[in-house]
């Protein structure tokens, strides 16, 4: 029983990571119609800025390090939005996909040149376990669940209670109408990419205790985030959260039945199954 | 219009003749290997051109299809001793099944689903190829895949194999031209240009897209089989997402939807990393920046450059004629 409990909790933790990935690219997809294929590399970049620069090189505290790296990636996000996403927004899908893929490759090469090719980890960050009754939970999983929950709530508040958030929702619904109503679509895009980058960096920081920090650390997370979006309902934020949780839990149980090397396939099988049976996803809302 | 097309055919012929002449002057195993890879890339990209170039649906899973083709042919010929001719046909059949099976769920709906499923599919293929060590050899790879012979000529050297696949590539190129100029090709282009118009004419978009994707998968699997028999050794490490992206890069750099462009793209993109080697550590990043720049500033590929240059010349000659 306690094993099942443990599986569910670590599944929920991983699920929240996929949910955050889903949210992060859905925001950009809704604001600019660009599917961001470089998002997994942006997660890696966030982890490198946090672990490589602020903690290991500058020897900062964890809280300071996280806050500073969030600020740094937001600035990077503004630059990327201005140079890549705004020029791309009117091009055909093929060019936007290709340009973001190449952006990802450039980021990886930049990381390799700047921080070096050797993987590393952040010592002492969210290690150890907590025992509640008979259930043993790792600290990293608890941190992931709490942070992701706060992040989702904060995003919801931002989207529904503040003016920039409302503008983002307007642009997501209808870009042309929003522009006619006097919303500056370019500014909204820049804000969106910056917020998406902040979420990417948070994901990078949160998964760094689970995976080593390396250039390929987030390839799988990125792909499963896409699967989460499709399973929940593509382009719909609550759908991404539900899809992410489903993938996280299902793949943890799959690792109980099948050899654990095939665990990663569960998400993709779910993806194809949903496309065949219910292409609109669990929530039935797509954009 | 007609002369433009005839010009393109002339250029294609010239390129093939040029490629056929290269081994006579550069008889170096390294160059011949690159040439072989170049022509195999060309065949795969001819296929990718149907789905991504003409129909406008992004396929990011060419590596998976290519891997399936390579493993099908290699395993059948190695374990069951079948003639590679038969196993290559088998891998084309595998490509056909793959195109149907993967195309049906992902092309049923409009949108980006094909890019996501193909990306996921190639990842699944890679995971299986890496972990089914008993069958595929995993990352250690599959060794001593047999070469084969055409009639009485054994394709034992790389140069002979190069001439064989060059002939195959010419055949594939002619087939591509035939398909592009037929009703199928016109349907593919119509899907990219105006989906509503096609629906109002009573054609089924899904079937057209699936047909294009199946063609792409067949070409891709065939290319994979040719690669397996050329290299004699395949490992799951080479079938990564980067390979799929590389094929789309070839398509984009050359010129989307244009067969001559595909040929130019595969020549340029296969050679470019070799030419940029002198940059050492910085060659990958330079390569990526060049490709990104070409996507942003030269969206119609290198082939459009030719048109622009010819346009300038034509204008000048018209002006001179007027004087």
Nearest to A215 by CA among B149, B240, B219, B304: B240
Q: What is the pLDDT along chain A (287 residues), one digit of tens a residue?
A: 788 888 888 899 999 999 999 999 999 988 888 889 999 999 999 999 999 899 888 888 888 999 999 999 999 999 999 988 888 887 778 888 888 888 999 999 999 999 988 888 888 888 888 888 778 888 888 999 999 999 999 999 999 999 999 998 888 888 889 889 888 888 999 999 999 999 999 999 999 888 888 888 888 899 999 999 889 888 888 889 999 999 999 988 888 888 878 888 888 888 888 888 888 888 887 76
What kind and span of H or E run contains A76? helix A62-80
A286 interaction partners in chain B (CB closer than 8 Å):
111
A286 domain-assigned? no
Q: Do B61 and B119 touch, CB atoms closer than 8 A?
A: yes
Q: Which among A102, A220, A286 has CB closest to B295?
A: A102
CA-closest candidate to residue B74, choices B226, B214, B249: B226
Q: Cβ atoms within 10 A of the Cβ of B121, count?
A: 23
CB A230 within 8 A of CB B116: yes
List the single residue in B with minimal CA-CA distance to A90.
Answer: B296
The ipTM estimated for the assembled molecules is 0.84
Give the pLDDT confidence of B71-85 residue by residue, as tens digits. Answer: 999 999 888 888 888
Q: Which two tokens stand for residue B73?
A: 């042919």
* pLDDT of the residue at B318: 53
Q: Which residue of B has its CA nearest to A99?
A: B292
Q: Does A227 contact B121 at a Cβ distance shorter than 8 Å?
A: no
Residue ranges of domains in chain B, CATH in brackets: 2-318 (1.10.3470)
Q: Between chains, do A95 and B123 touch, taking CB under 8 Å as contact?
A: no
Residue A284, domain member (yes or no) = no
Q: DSSP letter string over A7-31?
A: HHHHHHHHHHHHHHHHHHHHHHHHH
A256 part of contact set with chain B, CB < 8 Å: no
Contact A97 B58 (CB under 8 A): yes
Query: Cα dist. B199→A273, B190, B191, B212 in Å?
Result: 27, 10, 9, 17
A285: in domain? no
- What is the distance in angstroms between the Cα of A218 and the nearest Cα belonging to chain B? 14
Per residue in B152-209, pLDDT (tens digit) is: 777 888 888 899 999 999 999 999 999 999 999 999 999 888 888 888 888 888 889 9
Cβ contacts of B285 on chain A, cutoff 8 Å: 106, 109-110, 113
pLDDT at B44: 94
Give yes or no for A264 touching B (CB within 8 A): yes
pLDDT at B322: 41
Across chain B, the runs of DSSP E, i.e. the strands, are: 149-150, 153-154
Residue A283 lies in a domain: no
In chain A, DSSP finds a helix count (H) and a strand count (E) of 12, 2
Q: Supply the pLDDT for residue B159.
A: 87
Residue A124 resides in a domain: yes
Spell out which residues of chain B touch residue A105, defining contact as CB-CB under 8 Å.
242, 245, 284, 288
Residue B311: other Cβ atoms inside 10 A: 10
In a domain, A144, yes or no: yes
Based on the number of CB atoms within 10 Å of its own CB, is A16 exposed (0-12), middle (13-18) or buried (19 or more)? buried
CATH number of the structural domain spanning residue A32: 1.10.3470
Q: Is A287 on the interface with B (CB under 8 A)?
A: no
* Contacts with A93 from chain B: Cβ below 8 Å: 56, 58, 112
- Give the number of domains in chain A: 1
How distant, in Å, are the alpha carbons of A57, A201, B208 from that of A69?
13, 7, 48
Window 47-76 of A: residues touching B by CB (8 A cutoff) are none
Residues A276, B252: C-beta atoms closer than 8 Å:
no
| Cross-strand partners of A257 | none
Half-sphere exposure of A256 (CA within 13 A, CB side): 12
Smallest Cα distance from A75 to chain B, Å? 21
Nearest by Cα to B128 from A267, A264, A221, A220: A264
Q: Hey, which bits of chain A come out as E strands?
A: 129-132, 135-138
SS3 B153: strand
Q: Is the dihedral of CA B193, B198, B200, B206 positive or negative?
A: negative
Which of B140, B116, B46, B262 lies closest to A22, judged by CA?
Answer: B116
Q: Tokens at residue A91, please? A: 């091009």
Structural domain including A53 reads 2-277
Could you tell me the pTM of the whole model? 0.88
* E-strand stretches of B41-126: none
Burial class (CB in 10 A: 0-12, 13-18, 19+), B129: buried
Tokens of A254: 């799959």
- Chains A and B form CB pairs within 8 A to the count of 101
Q: List the single residue in A with minimal CA-CA distance to B286.
A: A106
Tell me if A279 and B108 make a contact (CB, 8 A cut-off). Answer: yes
For chain B, the distance separating the N- and C-terminal CA atoms, rounded to the nearest angstrom, is 26
Q: Which residues does chain B have with pLDDT short of 70? A: 1, 315-323
Q: Which residues of A touch B117 (CB under 8 A)?
A: 271-272, 275
- The verdict on residue A79 lying in a domain is yes
* Dihedral sign, Cα of residue B297, residue A185, residue A26, residue A39: positive
Residue B109 DSSP code: S
Q: Please give the C-alpha separations between residue A44 and each of A81, A219, A261, in angstroms, as whole numbers.
A: 18, 9, 22
């Amino acid at each position: 029983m306690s094993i099942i409990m443990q599986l569910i909790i670590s599944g929920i933790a991983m699920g929240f990571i996929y949910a955050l990935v889903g949210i992060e690219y859905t925001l950009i997809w809704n604001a600019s119609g660009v599917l961001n294929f470089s998002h997994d590399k942006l997660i890696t970049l966030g982890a490198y800025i946090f672990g490589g620069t602020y903690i290991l090189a500058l020897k900062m505290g964890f809280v300071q390090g996280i806050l500073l790296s969030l600020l740094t990636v937001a600035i990077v996000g503004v630059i990327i939005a201005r140079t890549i996403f705004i020029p791309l927004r009117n091009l055909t899908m093929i060019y936007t996909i290709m340009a973001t893929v190449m952006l990802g490759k450039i980021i990886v090469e930049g990381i390799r040149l700047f921080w070096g090719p050797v993987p590393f980890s952040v010592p002492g960050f969210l290690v150890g376990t907590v025992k509640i009754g008979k259930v043993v939970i790792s600290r990293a999983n608890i941190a992931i669940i709490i942070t992701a929950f706060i992040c989702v709530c904060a995003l919801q508040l931002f989207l529904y209670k503040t003016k920039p958030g409302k503008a983002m929702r307007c642009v997501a619904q209808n870009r042309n109408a929003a522009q006619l109503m006097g919303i500056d679509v370019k500014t909204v895009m820049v804000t969106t990419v910056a917020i998406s980058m902040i979420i990417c960096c948070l994901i990078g920081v949160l998964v760094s205790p689970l995976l080593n920090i390396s250039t390929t650390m987030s390839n799988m997370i990125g792909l499963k985030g896409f699967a989460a979006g499709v399973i929940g309902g593509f382009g719909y934020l609550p759908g991404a959260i539900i899809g992410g949780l489903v993938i996280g839990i299902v793949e943890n149980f799959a690792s109980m039945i099948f050899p654990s090397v095939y665990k990663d396939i569960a998400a993709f099988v779910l993806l194809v199954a949903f496309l065949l049976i219910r292409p609109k996803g669990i929530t039935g809302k797509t954009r | 219009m007609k002369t433009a097309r005839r010009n393109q055919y002339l250029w294609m012929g010239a390129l093939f003749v040029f490629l056929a002449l290269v081994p006579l002057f550069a008889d170096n195993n390294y160059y011949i290997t690159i040439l072989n890879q170049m022509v195999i890339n060309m065949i795969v990209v001819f296929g990718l051109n149907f789905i991504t170039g003409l129909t406008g649906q992004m396929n990011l899973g060419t590596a998976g299809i290519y891997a399936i083709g390579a493993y099908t042919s290699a395993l059948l010929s190695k374990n069951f001793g079948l003639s590679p001719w038969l196993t290559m046909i088998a891998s084309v059949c595998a490509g056909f099944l793959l195109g149907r099976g993967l195309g049906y769920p992902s092309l049923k709906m409009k949108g980006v689903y094909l890019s996501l499923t193909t990306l996921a599919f190639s990842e699944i293929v890679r995971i299986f190829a890496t972990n089914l060590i008993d069958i595929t050899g995993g990352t250690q790879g599959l060794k001593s895949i047999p070469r084969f012979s055409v009639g009485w000529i054994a394709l034992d050297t790389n140069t002979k194999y190069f001439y064989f696949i060059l002939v195959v590539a010419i055949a594939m190129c002619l087939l591509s031209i035939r398909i592009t100029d037929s009703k199928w090709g016109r349907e593919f282009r119509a899907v990219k240009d105006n989906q509503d118009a096609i629906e109002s004419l009573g054609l089924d978009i899904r079937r057209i897209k699936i047909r294009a994707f199946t063609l792409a998968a067949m070409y891709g699997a065939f290319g994979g089989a040719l690669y397996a028999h050329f290299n004699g050794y395949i490992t799951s490490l080479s079938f990564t997402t980067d390979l799929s992206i590389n094929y789309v890069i070839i398509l984009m750099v050359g010129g989307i939807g244009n067969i001559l462009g595909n040929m130019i793209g595969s020549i340029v993109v296969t050679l470019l990393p070799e030419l940029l080697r002198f940059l050492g550590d910085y060659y990958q990043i330079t390569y990526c920046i060049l490709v990104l720049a070409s996507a942003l500033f030269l969206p119609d590929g290198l082939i459009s450059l030719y048109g622009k240059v010819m346009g300038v010349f034509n204008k000048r000659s018209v002006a001179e004629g007027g004087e």
